[in-house]
Structure 1
Amino acid sequence: MTLIYGHRGAKGEAPENTLRSFQQCLEHGVMRCELDLHLSRDGELMVIHDPTLKRTTGRRGKVVEHDAAELVEYDARQGGPGAVQPCPIPRLSELFEKCPFEHWQLEVKSASKVRAARTVEAIAALAEKFGISDKVTVTSSSREVLRALQRLAPHLSRGLVAEYSWLDPIKVALHYDCQYLALNWTLCTPERLLKAQKAGLHVTVWTVNEPALMRRLADFGADSIITDFPGLAVRTLSS
Protein backbone atom coordinates (compact mmCIF):
# COMPACT_ATOMS: atom_id res chain seq x y z
CA MET A 1 0.00 0.00 0.00
CA THR A 2 1.58 3.28 -1.14
CA LEU A 3 1.17 6.05 1.45
CA ILE A 4 0.34 9.66 0.51
CA TYR A 5 2.11 12.77 1.78
CA GLY A 6 0.71 16.24 1.11
CA HIS A 7 3.45 18.42 -0.41
CA ARG A 8 3.76 21.67 1.58
CA GLY A 9 0.28 20.74 2.77
CA ALA A 10 -1.88 20.69 -0.34
CA LYS A 11 0.21 22.99 -2.54
CA GLY A 12 -1.96 22.54 -5.62
CA GLU A 13 -5.16 23.45 -3.77
CA ALA A 14 -4.19 26.13 -1.23
CA PRO A 15 -1.27 28.49 -0.51
CA GLU A 16 1.74 26.29 0.18
CA ASN A 17 3.10 25.79 3.70
CA THR A 18 0.20 27.64 5.37
CA LEU A 19 -2.16 26.34 8.04
CA ARG A 20 -4.96 26.39 5.44
CA SER A 21 -2.92 24.12 3.17
CA PHE A 22 -2.26 21.57 5.91
CA GLN A 23 -5.90 21.62 7.01
CA GLN A 24 -6.92 20.97 3.39
CA CYS A 25 -4.60 17.96 3.34
CA LEU A 26 -6.20 16.57 6.52
CA GLU A 27 -9.70 17.15 5.10
CA HIS A 28 -8.85 14.65 2.34
CA GLY A 29 -8.01 12.11 5.03
CA VAL A 30 -4.30 12.38 4.19
CA MET A 31 -2.56 12.06 7.54
CA ARG A 32 1.01 12.63 6.39
CA CYS A 33 2.67 15.82 5.19
CA GLU A 34 5.92 17.26 3.91
CA LEU A 35 7.03 20.82 4.65
CA ASP A 36 10.05 23.14 4.58
CA LEU A 37 11.75 24.94 7.43
CA HIS A 38 13.85 28.05 7.92
CA LEU A 39 14.93 29.69 11.16
CA SER A 40 13.73 33.20 11.97
CA ARG A 41 16.21 35.80 13.20
CA ASP A 42 15.29 34.90 16.80
CA GLY A 43 15.71 31.17 16.21
CA GLU A 44 12.13 29.95 15.70
CA LEU A 45 11.28 27.30 13.11
CA MET A 46 9.17 28.89 10.37
CA VAL A 47 7.32 26.91 7.72
CA ILE A 48 8.35 28.40 4.37
CA HIS A 49 10.13 26.93 1.35
CA ASP A 50 12.33 29.75 0.08
CA PRO A 51 15.03 31.49 2.13
CA THR A 52 13.49 34.76 0.85
CA LEU A 53 9.99 36.17 1.32
CA LYS A 54 9.35 37.52 -2.19
CA ARG A 55 7.61 34.61 -3.96
CA THR A 56 5.03 33.75 -1.33
CA THR A 57 4.48 37.08 0.45
CA GLY A 58 5.61 39.70 -2.07
CA ARG A 59 7.86 41.22 0.61
CA ARG A 60 11.55 41.93 0.36
CA GLY A 61 14.32 40.28 2.32
CA LYS A 62 15.21 36.93 3.84
CA VAL A 63 13.38 34.90 6.44
CA VAL A 64 16.46 35.04 8.69
CA GLU A 65 16.34 38.85 8.75
CA HIS A 66 12.96 38.88 10.53
CA ASP A 67 11.79 37.78 13.97
CA ALA A 68 9.06 35.14 14.22
CA ALA A 69 6.55 37.67 15.56
CA GLU A 70 6.97 39.71 12.35
CA LEU A 71 6.90 36.69 10.03
CA VAL A 72 3.56 35.41 11.35
CA GLU A 73 2.03 38.75 10.33
CA TYR A 74 3.04 38.30 6.68
CA ASP A 75 0.42 36.98 4.27
CA ALA A 76 1.79 34.05 2.25
CA ARG A 77 -1.23 33.82 -0.06
CA GLN A 78 0.85 34.43 -3.18
CA GLY A 79 2.23 30.91 -2.73
CA GLY A 80 -0.76 29.18 -4.24
CA PRO A 81 -4.39 29.12 -5.33
CA GLY A 82 -7.73 29.34 -3.67
CA ALA A 83 -7.34 31.56 -0.60
CA VAL A 84 -9.85 34.29 0.13
CA GLN A 85 -8.59 34.97 3.66
CA PRO A 86 -5.01 35.97 4.50
CA CYS A 87 -2.72 32.97 5.10
CA PRO A 88 0.16 33.87 7.41
CA ILE A 89 3.54 32.12 7.48
CA PRO A 90 3.13 29.62 10.34
CA ARG A 91 5.51 28.64 13.09
CA LEU A 92 6.15 24.90 13.11
CA SER A 93 4.89 24.86 16.71
CA GLU A 94 1.48 26.11 15.53
CA LEU A 95 1.17 23.22 13.06
CA PHE A 96 2.25 20.68 15.69
CA GLU A 97 -0.47 22.13 17.93
CA LYS A 98 -3.31 22.22 15.39
CA CYS A 99 -2.66 19.43 12.87
CA PRO A 100 -2.88 15.81 14.03
CA PHE A 101 -0.66 14.31 11.33
CA GLU A 102 0.55 10.73 11.81
CA HIS A 103 3.90 11.55 10.22
CA TRP A 104 5.83 14.67 9.25
CA GLN A 105 8.62 14.98 6.70
CA LEU A 106 10.46 18.15 7.69
CA GLU A 107 12.82 19.30 4.96
CA VAL A 108 15.77 21.50 5.87
CA LYS A 109 17.50 23.24 2.98
CA SER A 110 21.27 23.51 2.77
CA ALA A 111 22.85 25.47 5.58
CA SER A 112 26.20 26.40 7.08
CA LYS A 113 27.54 24.14 9.81
CA VAL A 114 26.37 26.51 12.58
CA ARG A 115 22.95 27.06 11.03
CA ALA A 116 22.42 23.35 10.38
CA ALA A 117 23.22 22.62 14.02
CA ARG A 118 20.85 25.33 15.31
CA THR A 119 18.03 24.10 13.07
CA VAL A 120 18.48 20.45 14.04
CA GLU A 121 18.57 21.30 17.76
CA ALA A 122 15.42 23.42 17.41
CA ILE A 123 13.56 20.58 15.62
CA ALA A 124 14.64 18.00 18.22
CA ALA A 125 13.54 20.25 21.10
CA LEU A 126 10.16 21.05 19.54
CA ALA A 127 9.39 17.44 18.59
CA GLU A 128 10.22 16.38 22.14
CA LYS A 129 8.08 19.15 23.63
CA PHE A 130 5.06 17.92 21.63
CA GLY A 131 5.89 14.25 22.27
CA ILE A 132 6.09 13.42 18.56
CA SER A 133 9.77 12.58 18.04
CA ASP A 134 8.68 9.19 16.67
CA LYS A 135 6.40 10.87 14.09
CA VAL A 136 9.07 13.06 12.53
CA THR A 137 11.61 12.42 9.76
CA VAL A 138 14.01 15.26 9.01
CA THR A 139 15.02 15.26 5.34
CA SER A 140 17.69 17.19 3.49
CA SER A 141 19.91 17.16 0.43
CA SER A 142 22.57 18.89 2.53
CA ARG A 143 25.42 16.79 3.90
CA GLU A 144 25.90 19.47 6.58
CA VAL A 145 22.32 18.98 7.81
CA LEU A 146 22.56 15.16 7.71
CA ARG A 147 25.83 15.28 9.67
CA ALA A 148 24.24 17.59 12.25
CA LEU A 149 21.35 15.12 12.62
CA GLN A 150 23.75 12.22 13.18
CA ARG A 151 25.70 14.21 15.73
CA LEU A 152 23.03 16.15 17.62
CA ALA A 153 19.76 14.22 17.19
CA PRO A 154 20.64 10.60 16.42
CA HIS A 155 17.25 9.52 17.83
CA LEU A 156 15.37 11.33 15.05
CA SER A 157 14.63 9.54 11.80
CA ARG A 158 16.39 11.19 8.85
CA GLY A 159 16.18 11.09 5.08
CA LEU A 160 18.23 12.05 2.05
CA VAL A 161 16.51 14.21 -0.57
CA ALA A 162 17.91 13.12 -3.95
CA GLU A 163 17.26 15.09 -7.12
CA TYR A 164 20.16 13.88 -9.28
CA SER A 165 21.86 10.52 -9.56
CA TRP A 166 25.43 11.55 -10.26
CA LEU A 167 26.19 10.19 -6.79
CA ASP A 168 24.46 6.92 -5.94
CA PRO A 169 21.61 8.16 -3.72
CA ILE A 170 21.26 4.82 -1.93
CA LYS A 171 24.93 4.80 -1.00
CA VAL A 172 24.77 8.39 0.27
CA ALA A 173 21.59 7.69 2.29
CA LEU A 174 23.18 4.66 3.96
CA HIS A 175 26.38 6.59 4.64
CA TYR A 176 24.36 9.02 6.79
CA ASP A 177 22.32 6.23 8.44
CA CYS A 178 19.12 7.48 6.81
CA GLN A 179 15.82 5.63 7.17
CA TYR A 180 14.16 7.54 4.31
CA LEU A 181 15.18 8.17 0.72
CA ALA A 182 13.19 11.00 -0.89
CA LEU A 183 13.66 10.46 -4.61
CA ASN A 184 12.76 12.83 -7.41
CA TRP A 185 10.27 10.78 -9.46
CA THR A 186 12.58 10.80 -12.49
CA LEU A 187 15.09 8.75 -10.43
CA CYS A 188 12.58 6.17 -9.27
CA THR A 189 13.20 3.13 -11.47
CA PRO A 190 11.90 -0.28 -10.31
CA GLU A 191 15.52 -1.43 -9.93
CA ARG A 192 16.57 1.50 -7.73
CA LEU A 193 13.39 1.23 -5.68
CA LEU A 194 13.91 -2.45 -4.98
CA LYS A 195 17.59 -1.98 -4.16
CA ALA A 196 16.78 0.84 -1.71
CA GLN A 197 14.02 -1.16 -0.02
CA LYS A 198 16.31 -4.19 0.29
CA ALA A 199 18.78 -1.88 2.06
CA GLY A 200 16.02 -1.02 4.55
CA LEU A 201 15.10 2.42 3.22
CA HIS A 202 11.56 3.82 3.04
CA VAL A 203 11.36 5.29 -0.49
CA THR A 204 9.20 8.40 -0.78
CA VAL A 205 8.86 9.90 -4.28
CA TRP A 206 8.27 13.58 -5.17
CA THR A 207 6.48 15.52 -6.64
CA VAL A 208 3.84 13.20 -8.08
CA ASN A 209 0.82 15.02 -9.54
CA GLU A 210 -0.31 12.94 -12.54
CA PRO A 211 -2.77 10.08 -11.88
CA ALA A 212 -0.94 7.81 -14.37
CA LEU A 213 2.36 8.40 -12.55
CA MET A 214 0.71 7.85 -9.15
CA ARG A 215 -0.58 4.48 -10.34
CA ARG A 216 2.73 3.53 -11.93
CA LEU A 217 4.73 4.28 -8.77
CA ALA A 218 2.17 2.40 -6.66
CA ASP A 219 2.52 -0.58 -9.03
CA PHE A 220 6.32 -0.38 -8.69
CA GLY A 221 5.79 -0.64 -4.92
CA ALA A 222 6.92 2.86 -3.83
CA ASP A 223 6.48 3.20 -0.06
CA SER A 224 4.99 6.67 -0.40
CA ILE A 225 4.44 9.56 -2.79
CA ILE A 226 4.54 13.29 -2.11
CA THR A 227 1.88 15.23 -4.05
CA ASP A 228 0.52 18.76 -4.49
CA PHE A 229 -2.95 17.22 -4.88
CA PRO A 230 -3.63 14.89 -1.94
CA GLY A 231 -7.35 14.71 -2.79
CA LEU A 232 -6.59 13.51 -6.33
CA ALA A 233 -4.06 11.01 -4.97
CA VAL A 234 -6.64 9.54 -2.59
CA ARG A 235 -9.17 9.13 -5.42
CA THR A 236 -6.56 7.71 -7.79
CA LEU A 237 -4.99 5.19 -5.45
CA SER A 238 -8.23 4.00 -3.87
CA SER A 239 -9.97 3.36 -7.18
Structure 2
Amino acid sequence: MTQIYGHRGAKGEAPENTLTSFQQCLSHGVRRCELDLHLSADNELMVIHDPTLKRTTGRRGKVVEHNASDLVTYDARKGGPGWVHPCPIPRLDELFEKCDFEHWQLEVKSASRMRAATTVLAIREMAQRFGLLDKITITSSSREVLAAALELTPDVSRGLVAEYAWLDPLKVAQNYGCEMLALNWTLCSPERLAKAQRQGLHVSVWTVNEPALMRRLADFGVDSLITDFPGLATATLESC
Protein backbone atom coordinates (compact mmCIF):
# COMPACT_ATOMS: atom_id res chain seq x y z
CA MET A 1 0.00 0.00 0.00
CA THR A 2 1.48 3.34 -1.06
CA GLN A 3 1.69 5.82 1.82
CA ILE A 4 0.91 9.54 1.43
CA TYR A 5 3.09 12.40 2.69
CA GLY A 6 1.75 15.95 2.77
CA HIS A 7 4.23 18.25 0.98
CA ARG A 8 5.09 21.18 3.26
CA GLY A 9 1.88 20.20 5.03
CA ALA A 10 -0.80 20.60 2.40
CA LYS A 11 0.89 23.13 0.12
CA GLY A 12 -1.88 23.16 -2.48
CA GLU A 13 -4.58 23.78 0.10
CA ALA A 14 -3.04 26.11 2.70
CA PRO A 15 0.05 28.33 3.08
CA GLU A 16 3.06 26.02 2.87
CA ASN A 17 5.14 25.04 5.90
CA THR A 18 2.77 26.73 8.38
CA LEU A 19 0.96 25.16 11.32
CA THR A 20 -2.28 25.70 9.39
CA SER A 21 -0.93 23.68 6.47
CA PHE A 22 0.10 20.74 8.66
CA GLN A 23 -3.26 20.79 10.46
CA GLN A 24 -4.95 20.76 7.04
CA CYS A 25 -2.91 17.68 6.11
CA LEU A 26 -3.95 15.92 9.32
CA SER A 27 -7.60 16.82 8.70
CA HIS A 28 -7.54 14.41 5.73
CA GLY A 29 -6.28 11.60 7.94
CA VAL A 30 -2.80 11.90 6.35
CA ARG A 31 -0.36 11.39 9.20
CA ARG A 32 2.92 11.68 7.33
CA CYS A 33 4.48 14.96 6.25
CA GLU A 34 7.46 16.53 4.55
CA LEU A 35 8.86 19.92 5.55
CA ASP A 36 11.91 22.14 5.08
CA LEU A 37 14.28 23.50 7.70
CA HIS A 38 16.61 26.48 7.96
CA LEU A 39 18.43 27.81 11.01
CA SER A 40 17.62 31.26 12.37
CA ALA A 41 20.37 33.71 13.37
CA ASP A 42 20.18 32.27 16.90
CA ASN A 43 20.32 28.65 15.65
CA GLU A 44 16.65 27.74 16.06
CA LEU A 45 15.10 25.26 13.61
CA MET A 46 12.63 27.21 11.48
CA VAL A 47 10.16 25.60 9.07
CA ILE A 48 10.51 27.43 5.74
CA HIS A 49 11.57 26.27 2.28
CA ASP A 50 13.58 29.16 0.83
CA PRO A 51 16.76 30.58 2.37
CA THR A 52 15.19 34.02 1.83
CA LEU A 53 11.94 35.46 3.20
CA LYS A 54 10.67 37.17 0.05
CA ARG A 55 8.47 34.54 -1.61
CA THR A 56 6.39 33.49 1.38
CA THR A 57 6.44 36.60 3.60
CA GLY A 58 7.25 39.48 1.22
CA ARG A 59 10.06 40.57 3.55
CA ARG A 60 13.66 41.18 2.61
CA GLY A 61 16.69 39.27 3.76
CA LYS A 62 17.62 35.71 4.62
CA VAL A 63 16.19 33.48 7.30
CA VAL A 64 19.65 33.20 8.87
CA GLU A 65 19.78 36.98 9.35
CA HIS A 66 16.75 37.02 11.68
CA ASN A 67 16.25 35.71 15.21
CA ALA A 68 13.57 33.08 15.79
CA SER A 69 11.58 35.43 18.02
CA ASP A 70 11.17 37.76 15.01
CA LEU A 71 10.65 35.04 12.40
CA VAL A 72 7.64 33.61 14.27
CA THR A 73 5.89 36.98 13.90
CA TYR A 74 6.23 37.05 10.08
CA ASP A 75 3.11 36.12 8.13
CA ALA A 76 3.93 33.41 5.56
CA ARG A 77 0.69 33.47 3.54
CA LYS A 78 2.15 35.16 0.48
CA GLY A 79 2.26 33.30 -2.82
CA GLY A 80 0.14 30.35 -1.65
CA PRO A 81 -3.57 29.58 -1.76
CA GLY A 82 -5.67 32.36 -0.22
CA TRP A 83 -6.09 32.18 3.54
CA VAL A 84 -8.08 34.47 5.82
CA HIS A 85 -5.94 34.35 8.95
CA PRO A 86 -2.22 35.15 9.33
CA CYS A 87 0.01 32.07 9.17
CA PRO A 88 3.36 32.74 10.83
CA ILE A 89 6.60 30.87 10.15
CA PRO A 90 6.71 28.10 12.78
CA ARG A 91 9.56 26.72 14.84
CA LEU A 92 9.95 22.97 14.42
CA ASP A 93 9.23 22.37 18.11
CA GLU A 94 5.81 24.00 17.74
CA LEU A 95 4.88 21.46 15.07
CA PHE A 96 6.27 18.57 17.13
CA GLU A 97 4.13 19.78 20.02
CA LYS A 98 0.88 20.35 18.12
CA CYS A 99 0.86 17.85 15.23
CA ASP A 100 0.53 14.12 15.70
CA PHE A 101 2.30 12.74 12.64
CA GLU A 102 3.42 9.11 12.39
CA HIS A 103 6.45 10.11 10.34
CA TRP A 104 8.25 13.32 9.40
CA GLN A 105 10.57 13.86 6.44
CA LEU A 106 12.72 16.77 7.63
CA GLU A 107 14.49 18.22 4.63
CA VAL A 108 17.61 20.21 5.43
CA LYS A 109 18.69 22.53 2.65
CA SER A 110 22.34 22.75 1.63
CA ALA A 111 24.58 24.22 4.28
CA SER A 112 28.22 24.77 5.16
CA ARG A 113 29.88 22.00 7.15
CA MET A 114 29.43 23.90 10.40
CA ARG A 115 25.77 24.78 9.77
CA ALA A 116 25.04 21.21 8.65
CA ALA A 117 26.52 19.91 11.90
CA THR A 118 24.58 22.42 14.02
CA THR A 119 21.34 21.57 12.21
CA VAL A 120 21.48 17.78 12.45
CA LEU A 121 22.50 17.90 16.12
CA ALA A 122 19.63 20.31 16.88
CA ILE A 123 17.16 18.02 15.08
CA ARG A 124 18.33 14.98 17.02
CA GLU A 125 18.18 16.77 20.36
CA MET A 126 14.67 18.05 19.67
CA ALA A 127 13.36 14.74 18.34
CA GLN A 128 14.71 12.98 21.40
CA ARG A 129 13.10 15.53 23.70
CA PHE A 130 9.71 14.89 22.05
CA GLY A 131 10.20 11.10 21.88
CA LEU A 132 10.18 11.16 18.08
CA LEU A 133 13.59 9.72 17.18
CA ASP A 134 12.00 6.72 15.47
CA LYS A 135 9.48 8.90 13.62
CA ILE A 136 11.83 11.22 11.72
CA THR A 137 14.11 10.97 8.72
CA ILE A 138 16.62 13.73 8.00
CA THR A 139 16.54 14.19 4.22
CA SER A 140 18.74 16.33 2.02
CA SER A 141 20.20 16.70 -1.45
CA SER A 142 23.36 18.08 0.20
CA ARG A 143 26.24 15.68 0.72
CA GLU A 144 27.50 18.04 3.44
CA VAL A 145 24.27 17.53 5.38
CA LEU A 146 24.15 13.76 4.84
CA ALA A 147 27.81 13.40 5.84
CA ALA A 148 27.16 15.39 9.04
CA ALA A 149 24.10 13.25 9.81
CA LEU A 150 26.01 10.01 9.22
CA GLU A 151 28.88 11.11 11.43
CA LEU A 152 27.12 13.02 14.21
CA THR A 153 23.62 11.51 14.41
CA PRO A 154 24.10 7.95 13.12
CA ASP A 155 21.05 6.71 15.04
CA VAL A 156 18.72 9.05 13.08
CA SER A 157 17.31 7.76 9.79
CA ARG A 158 18.70 9.50 6.68
CA GLY A 159 17.25 10.06 3.22
CA LEU A 160 18.68 11.36 -0.05
CA VAL A 161 16.61 13.91 -1.98
CA ALA A 162 17.40 13.16 -5.63
CA GLU A 163 16.43 15.40 -8.51
CA TYR A 164 18.93 14.41 -11.21
CA ALA A 165 19.68 10.95 -12.60
CA TRP A 166 23.28 11.72 -13.51
CA LEU A 167 24.23 11.80 -9.83
CA ASP A 168 23.44 8.04 -9.61
CA PRO A 169 21.05 8.42 -6.66
CA LEU A 170 21.25 4.79 -5.55
CA LYS A 171 25.01 4.94 -5.15
CA VAL A 172 24.90 8.27 -3.28
CA ALA A 173 22.17 6.91 -0.97
CA GLN A 174 24.30 3.85 -0.27
CA ASN A 175 27.41 5.97 0.44
CA TYR A 176 25.61 7.84 3.23
CA GLY A 177 23.77 4.85 4.71
CA CYS A 178 20.36 6.19 3.71
CA GLU A 179 17.15 4.30 4.41
CA MET A 180 15.00 6.55 2.23
CA LEU A 181 15.25 7.86 -1.31
CA ALA A 182 13.08 10.93 -1.95
CA LEU A 183 13.01 10.79 -5.71
CA ASN A 184 11.77 13.33 -8.24
CA TRP A 185 8.86 11.41 -9.82
CA THR A 186 10.25 11.95 -13.33
CA LEU A 187 13.20 9.72 -12.35
CA CYS A 188 10.98 6.91 -11.08
CA SER A 189 11.14 4.16 -13.68
CA PRO A 190 10.00 0.66 -12.66
CA GLU A 191 13.63 -0.50 -13.08
CA ARG A 192 15.12 2.18 -10.81
CA LEU A 193 12.34 1.65 -8.27
CA ALA A 194 12.92 -2.12 -8.14
CA LYS A 195 16.68 -1.66 -7.84
CA ALA A 196 16.28 0.88 -5.00
CA GLN A 197 13.88 -1.37 -3.12
CA ARG A 198 16.24 -4.34 -3.54
CA GLN A 199 18.86 -2.08 -1.93
CA GLY A 200 16.50 -1.75 1.05
CA LEU A 201 15.45 1.85 0.34
CA HIS A 202 12.01 3.28 1.04
CA VAL A 203 11.25 5.18 -2.18
CA SER A 204 9.21 8.35 -1.71
CA VAL A 205 8.41 10.24 -4.94
CA TRP A 206 7.69 13.96 -5.25
CA THR A 207 5.76 16.12 -6.05
CA VAL A 208 2.75 14.12 -7.26
CA ASN A 209 -0.44 16.13 -7.75
CA GLU A 210 -2.32 14.52 -10.67
CA PRO A 211 -4.68 11.62 -9.87
CA ALA A 212 -3.62 9.64 -12.98
CA LEU A 213 0.03 9.98 -11.97
CA MET A 214 -0.75 9.02 -8.37
CA ARG A 215 -2.41 5.84 -9.62
CA ARG A 216 0.42 5.05 -12.03
CA LEU A 217 3.14 5.43 -9.41
CA ALA A 218 1.12 3.42 -6.89
CA ASP A 219 0.80 0.68 -9.52
CA PHE A 220 4.59 0.79 -9.99
CA GLY A 221 4.82 0.03 -6.27
CA VAL A 222 6.37 3.21 -4.84
CA ASP A 223 6.51 3.10 -1.05
CA SER A 224 5.11 6.62 -0.66
CA LEU A 225 4.27 9.73 -2.61
CA ILE A 226 4.64 13.34 -1.55
CA THR A 227 1.78 15.59 -2.64
CA ASP A 228 0.53 19.17 -2.31
CA PHE A 229 -3.02 17.75 -2.12
CA PRO A 230 -3.17 15.05 0.57
CA GLY A 231 -6.98 15.03 0.48
CA LEU A 232 -7.05 14.36 -3.26
CA ALA A 233 -4.33 11.70 -2.91
CA THR A 234 -6.30 9.91 -0.18
CA ALA A 235 -9.47 9.86 -2.28
CA THR A 236 -7.56 8.77 -5.40
CA LEU A 237 -5.64 5.90 -3.82
CA GLU A 238 -8.68 4.67 -1.87
CA SER A 239 -10.56 4.34 -5.17
CA CYS A 240 -7.78 2.29 -6.82
Interval of TM-score (by shorter of Structure 1 and Structure 2): over 0.9
2:93 counterpart residue number: 93
SS at structure 2 position matched to 1:55: helix
Output the amino acid matched with 2:40.
S
Q: Deviations over 1:180-203 (max 9, x none)?
A: 000000000000000000000000
SS at structure 2 position matched to 1:155: coil
How far apart are the structure 2 equivalents of 1:156 and 1:33? 17
SS at structure 2 position matched to 1:77: coil
CA contact 1:16–1:79 (8 Å) conserved in 2: no
CA contact 1:107–1:140 (8 Å) conserved in 2: yes
2:125 counterpart residue number: 125
CA contact 1:140–1:146 (8 Å) conserved in 2: yes
2:190 counterpart residue number: 190
Q: Deviations over 1:144-166 (max 9, x none)?
A: 00000011100000000000011
How far apart are the structure 2 equivalents of 1:50 and 1:108? 11
SS at structure 2 position matched to 1:6: strand
The answer to whether structure 1 residue 172 and structure 2 residue 172 are counterparts is yes
1:114 counterpart residue number: 114
Q: State the shift of 1:82 in Å.
A: 3.0
Q: State the shift of 1:125 in Å.
A: 0.5
Unpaired runs of at least 5, structure 1? none
Q: Deviations over 1:118-167 (max 9, x none)?
A: 00011010000001000000000000000000111000000000000112
Runs of 4+ in 1 over 6 A off after TM superposition: none
Output the amino acid matched with 1:116.
A
2:149 counterpart residue number: 149
SS at structure 2 position matched to 1:94: helix
Output the amino acid matched with 1:25.
C
**May I ask how many residue pairs the two structures share in their alignment?**
239
Q: State the shift of 1:80 in Å.
A: 1.2
Q: Deviations over 1:75-110 (max 9, x none)?
A: 000141131000000000000000000000000011
Unpaired runs of at least 5, structure 2? none
CA RMSD of aligned residues (A): 0.5
- Matched residues, percent identical? 78
SS at structure 2 position matched to 1:78: coil
Could you state the TM-score of these two structures normalised by the residue count of structure 1? Answer: 0.99
How far apart are the structure 1 equivalents of 2:17 and 2:10? 8
How far apart are the structure 1 equivalents of 2:51 and 2:115? 13
How far apart are the structure 1 equivalents of 2:17 and 2:183? 20
Could you state the TM-score of these two structures normalised by the residue count of structure 2? Answer: 0.99
Change (3 A) 1:120 1:79: farther
1:138 counterpart residue number: 138
Q: State the shift of 1:22 in Å.
A: 0.2
2:74 counterpart residue number: 74
How far apart are the structure 2 equivalents of 1:228 and 1:79? 14
How far apart are the structure 1 equivalents of 2:17 and 2:70? 17
CA contact 1:124–1:156 (8 Å) conserved in 2: yes
Output the amino acid matched with 1:46.
M
Q: Deviations over 1:1-40 (max 9, x none)?
A: 0000000000000000000000000000000000000000
The answer to whether structure 1 residue 20 and structure 2 residue 20 are counterparts is yes
Q: How is 1:217-232 mapped onto 2 (pairs within 5 angstroms)?
A: 217-232=217-232
2:162 counterpart residue number: 162
How far apart are the structure 2 equivalents of 1:111 and 1:211? 35
